[in-house]
Amino acid sequence: YKDLFEKSDDFNYKEFYPLEYHKWMRNKSSTDIYLIIQHDVDNHPIFTQRMVAMEQVYNIKSNIFIFRDRYTAKGPDPSYKIDHDFFVKAQHSGFVIGYHQNAFALADFDMKRAVERYRSDMVYLRSIYDIGFVVPHGGAGSEVDGKIFYNVDVPMPSEFEGNLRWVFNRYGVRFNKRWSDGGLRKTRDLKRIRDFDLVRQFLHKLEPGSRNFCLVHPQRWGYNVDVSQNPLLAKEKWYVALCAAN
C-alpha cells in the first residue's frame, strides 16, 4: 500500500481512491503483473512472524495488520502478544504495519465508546509504528436499535481523515482480481473450496497489466494447521500439498 500511495495525496477512501487509481493506470506497465499481499493477524502472531521471515528470504514485502488487543467474550485476549521489536524491524525493511480495527467489539459493542477505542488504539500503535493504513476486522457483531453493527461500521475519527487510509473491507483500493482465505475453514460450498486454490485458480490466471489483491491469514497455514478441520477441503490435493510445503 505504501508503494501505491508514495506520490499520491488521495485520501478519498469513500470513493475508493479515484485519483490514485487513475494515476496508476496511466503509469503502469502493460507487461508486469502487480500483486498486493495482505496479512490480517487475527491470532497467533508468531505464525505471522514465520511467514514474514519466509517472505524476506524471497525479497517479498507485504502489508501486516495487527490488533492492539484481541477481543474475546471475556475481554482482551492475554495470549495475543505482538513482538513489537520484530515488526518494527520488518517495517524498517519495507513491510507495512497497519491497524486491524476491532474497536466495536472491544468497546462492548457501544458505538460511541468504539470511536474512542479506535482513537486510543491508533495513538498507541502510532507510538510504535508508522501507521498509515487501517482495515476493519470482520469478527463479532451486535444488534443496536434493531440493526446489526460490526467493526466495519465504526467511522474513522475525524482527526485521522487525511492522514490514515482505509484500504480494505467496505472501502479500499481498486483491484482487477481478489483472493482471500476468509471462510476457508467453515465453508462447505464445494465450488468455493476449489476456488480457494491459490496457485491454479488465482496466481496462474493473473494477467499482464493487472493489479491484484491477496489476503492471507498466516495462522491458517503451515505445520500448525489441522488439515482435517474442514472435511471437504481436506480432500483437495492442492490444499494438503500447500499446507505441507509451508
Q: Which residue has the cell 491477496?
A: 214
pLDDT (0 to 100) of residue 246: 64
**What letter represents residue 70's amino acid?**
R
Phi, psi of 96 (to 5 degrees): -100, 130
Rounding to the nearest 10 degrees, give the CA dihedral for residues 203, 207, 211, 215: -10
Residues 6+ apart with CB under 8 A from 211: 24, 28, 34, 35, 36, 174, 175, 176
pLDDT (0 to 100) of residue 159: 98
| Predicted model pTM | 0.95
Contact between 174 and 21 under an 8 Å Cβ cutoff? The reply is yes
* Angstrom distance (rounded) from CA 55 to CA 227: 23
Closest CA to 214 of 93, 34, 4, 55: 34
How many residues belong to the chain?
246
* Angstrom distance (rounded) from CA 92 to CA 170: 29
pLDDT (0 to 100) of residue 60: 97
**What letter represents residue 43's amino acid?**
N
CA angle, residues 35, 38, 41, in degrees to nearest 5: 165
Half-sphere exposure of 125 (CA within 13 A, CB side): 27
Helices and strands per DSSP (H, E), number in the chain:
7, 11
* Angstrom distance (rounded) from CA 141 to CA 148: 6
Mean model confidence pLDDT for the chain: 95
Tens of pLDDT along 19-47?
Answer: 999 999 999 999 999 999 999 999 999 99
* Angstrom distance (rounded) from CA 155 to CA 6: 25
Closest CA to 234 of 225, 214, 51: 225
pLDDT averaged over 10-residue windows placed end to end, the chain, 246 residues: 96 98 96 98 95 96 98 93 98 98 97 97 98 95 92 98 98 97 88 91 97 95 83 89 78
pLDDT (0 to 100) of residue 224: 75
pLDDT (0 to 100) of residue 212: 98
